[in-house]
Structure 1
Amino acid sequence: MTDVRRPLTGYAWRRLLPHAVLMTGALFILLPFYWMLLTSLRAPAEIFSVSLWPIPQSFHALDNFTAATQAVPLFRFMLNGVIVCCSILIVQLLVAIPAAYALAKLPFPGAKLFFSLVIGALCIPMQVLALPMFIGLAWADLLNTYFAMMAPFFLSVFAIFLFRQTFKSYPDEIIQAARLDGMSEMSICWRLVVPSALPAIAAFTVFSMVAHWNDLYWPMIVISDMRLATPPLGMLFFADAEAGTNYGALMAGATVLTMPLVICFLLARRQFIEGITMTGVK
């Protein structure tokens, strides 16, 4: 019986090479998370072992996770993160969607200037505005509050830009017909245009939740009360606590605080990919 196997052709190699590169990159990205989870299961004597074998010699998961939850209020940190991230997201959507609709579909004097300002604002880092915002919040006696952590992010120029680009592809004929039927501009925006842009909204939701869940810079400036700490700031307090040198407990705490982001992305992954790769009406 003859061997029908043939070497891969150049076309097959060109198809396999991008996938191999992407898989290699994915392995490098996932390796720190794998190491975090593995360390949370190991005994202190095994933590500095270079082995990547997934089954530790002795399981200390219960001890590590118990120490993590007892050293600092991890679930309180998670609740604070949910409150801050969800409140920021809701206000961002309420502000950005009408603004993006106006820039995309309403001709008014200065529209191009306003859009240029949006593009310019994308180039301004958070650190530039930190000092004046901190002074203003301190003057208003709003430090150590949820509002202090949320206020600088209520206006998202990235959301305005993303939604404006999505709304631009919505058919003008449908909007004109809705106007002839007597619908107001706000009704057109929220009842017609927004449902067609759900993938873009889902993509921005993932961006916003991940960015503000992981934000350490601003909460570290305006918050000194552990009861109001968000997950990254809570981990910083954890490192200074009694269990701060217990790396198994630290990684257990990091695992607990990372899981909501993983779940959020898995639930919205399809809409996230559609929102990044596609615009317009199907």
Structure 2
Amino acid sequence: MTTQTMTIGRLARLALLSLGALLVLAPYIFMLSTAGKTQSEIFASSLSLIPHTWNYLANFTKAFTRVSMPMLLWNGVVVCGMILVLQVLVAVPCAYAMAKMKFRAARVMMALVMLGLLVPIHATALPLYVAFDRLSILNSYLALVAPFSISVFAIFLFLQFFRAMPDDLIHAARLDGMSELGIVARVIVPNAWPAVTAFAIFSVVAHWNDLFWPLIVVTNQAYATPPLGLLFFRAAEAGDDYGALMAATLIITLPLVLVFLLAQKSFVEGITMTGLKG
């Protein structure tokens, strides 16, 4: 293969990747553009990504004053953090038991995990809502967190990761007198951070953006998560102040972008290693 052919191939790949990146970033670019426009410019017949009149300060001021944006972000952090911690605490021991311990019910548990992946939250929403209503725990962090405290996807992801870990490492820890819980805490978890980071990205993005369940169990704005807060914002503005609405949307999506950029290396590593077979 000649140098010229290799250069053309690299340029073609670069062009294809650039096109893909542009398609992915297009909604965010449009949102950033709209957040800086006046109402009249948003509904103008001509389309321009660069605002003629920069209205960012006014729109972002509206976003912070017309709904409690710090409270929405705090609720998102609390709910996503609690869900992630509970999911990891449950999934790591379960995945370790199925991956490294021999017992009769392992195949049955694996089948249940695979079956659980097929059941969406929409199928269980009604009975969960009725139960939470009878327990009088609607409009609370408990109602937002409890249905997601066990993640079958986390169990499946960690199971694949733990299978790739050498059995000799586990046997050596047992010879040293460690209990199974000690092995999980002192051997498995320190070596599983790539998988935990990868799952954390999936979990935080899913629950930060979730509107379906908060819309069912929360009517009090004090417990509103970021997507639900946008609905309250739009209701307060009668749905016509799109510049401020896009500014609020930017504020809510920015933490996810920053978290992914900071953790992308560990995310890719975790996803790659969970695909290995032990």
TM-score for the superposition, normalised by structure 2: 0.93
Q: Deviations over 1:217-254 (max 9, x none)?
A: 00000000111100000001111103631111000110
2:187 aligns with 192
Deviation at 1:62, TM superposition (A): 0.9
Q: Match for 2:142 among 138, 147, 154?
A: 147
Q: Match for 1:227 among 213, 222, 229?
A: 222
Q: Which moved more, 1:178-187 or 1:272-281?
A: 272-281
1:209 aligns with 2:201: no
2:67 aligns with 72
| Correspondence list, 1:130-141, <5 A | 130-141=125-136
Q: Deviations over 1:37-63 (max 9, x none)?
A: 111111222223553443x22111111
Long gaps (5+) in structure 2: none
Number of residue equivalences: 274
Partner Cα distance (2:137, 2:196) in 1: 30
1:114 aligns with 2:105: no
Q: Residues 7 and 101 (structure 1 numbering): CA distance in 2 closer, same or farther, change over 3 Å?
A: closer
1:26 aligns with 21
Partner Cα distance (2:249, 2:188) in 1: 39
Deviation at 1:73, TM superposition (A): 0.9
Partner Cα distance (1:229, 1:157) in 2: 26
| 8 A Cα contact 1:243 1:249, kept in partner | no
Partner Cα distance (1:208, 1:143) in 2: 22
1:51 aligns with 2:37: no
1:238 aligns with 233
What RMSD in Å do the two structures reach over aligned CA positions? 1.8
1:160 aligns with 2:155: yes
| 8 A Cα contact 2:30 2:49, kept in partner | no
| 8 A Cα contact 1:67 1:243, kept in partner | no
> Percent same amino acid among aligned pairs?
49
Q: Residues 190 and 7 (structure 1 numbering): CA distance in 2 closer, same or farther, change over 3 Å?
A: closer
Deviation at 1:13, TM superposition (A): 4.3
Long gaps (5+) in structure 1: 1-5
Deviation at 1:277, TM superposition (A): 1.6
Partner Cα distance (1:245, 1:123) in 2: 39
1:41 aligns with 36
Q: Residues 124 and 13 (structure 1 numbering): CA distance in 2 closer, same or farther, change over 3 Å?
A: farther
Q: Match for 1:257 among 247, 252, 259?
A: 252
